[in-house]
């Protein structure tokens, strides 16, 4: 019996929609479509389908407001960020977060300012743990 693998991860378009919902807090199909860039010409029904799928997968819930559905994430952006990082780390960094950061800080495109911020973050966390 083959277990249906539920990926826990958003597809490309699902992420696109969740990103707008995270910004909005919640919203209707129309609200989300209005957030998308001009050049993204997506039919209204396509948007409705994506949100229907997100609800099936339980990434959002909906309530009714008049005749419309208002959709709202069940999973915070921060939680999904953590999940994505875990996935990337597993698939590409041998499940070793330090090596992920290593690759990041060795990227020449990274600014000194960003590096400083990163160090401050790490320091703060280390202090809190030990203090």
Partner DNA sequence: TTTGTAAAACGAAAGATTTCGTATTTACTC
Partner DNA sequence: GAGTAAATACGAAATCTTTCGTTTTACAAA
For DNA, the binding residues (CB under 7 A) are 7, 11-14, 28-30, 41-46, 48-50, 52-53, 64, 66-69
Closer to DNA by Cβ: residue 30 or 124: 30
Alpha-carbon separation of residue 43 from 4, 27, 34 (angstroms):
30, 17, 12
Q: What is the DSSP letter of 27?
A: B
Closer to its own copies by Cβ: residue 67 or 98: 98
Partner whose footprint covers residue 24, from its own copies, DNA, none (CB < 5 to 8 Å by kind): none
What is the distance between the alpha carbons of residues 29 and 46, in angstroms, rounded to a whole number?
A: 10
Selection from 79, 69, 66 nearest residue 10 by Cα: 79
Closer to DNA by Cβ: residue 63 or 119: 63
């Amino acid at each position: 019996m083959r277990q249906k693998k539920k990926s826990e991860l958003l597809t490309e378009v699902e992420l696109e929609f969740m990103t707008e919902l995270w910004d909005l807090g919640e919203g209707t199909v129309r609200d989300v479509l209005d957030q998308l860039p001009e050049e993204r010409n997506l039919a209204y029904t396509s948007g409705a389908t994506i949100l229907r799928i997100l609800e099936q997968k339980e990434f959002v819930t909906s309530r009714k407001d008049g005749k419309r559905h208002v959709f709202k994430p069940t999973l915070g952006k921060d939680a999904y960020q953590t999940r994505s990082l875990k996935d990337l780390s597993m698939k590409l960094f041998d499940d070793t977060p330090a090596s992920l950061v290593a690759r990041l800080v060795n990227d020449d495109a990274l600014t000194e300012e960003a590096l400083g911020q990163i160090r401050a973050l790490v320091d703060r966390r280390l202090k809190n743990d030990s203090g």
